[in-house]
Amino acid sequence: MMLNLRLAKKKMEKEEGMNHLWIELTHTNNLTENAILRIHLPKGLYRGLNLNGNFETETGEIKLVSRDKDVFIEFYTQSRIDCDEALINVELCYQSSHLNWKGIKEDITVRFVDEEDVDDEHIDHQVIERVMKLEINSSSKAGSDSELLVIRPRTYQTRDSEYAYLEKDYRINY
51-72: per-residue pLDDT in tens? 988 899 999 999 987 777 889 9
Q: What confidence tens digit (pLDDT) does each residue in 16-38 have? A: 899 999 999 887 565 556 789 99
Q: For residue 13, which of 122, 113, 85, 108 has the smallest C-alpha distance?
A: 113
**What is this structure's pTM?**
0.73
Please state, in angstroms and rounded to a whole number, the distance separating the CA atoms of residues 165 and 6.
70
Query: How many Å separate Cα 35 from the centre of its chain?
Result: 15
Residue-range domain boundaries for the chain? 2-147
Domain 2-147, CATH: 2.60.40.1670
Q: What is the CA radius of gyration of the chain?
A: 24
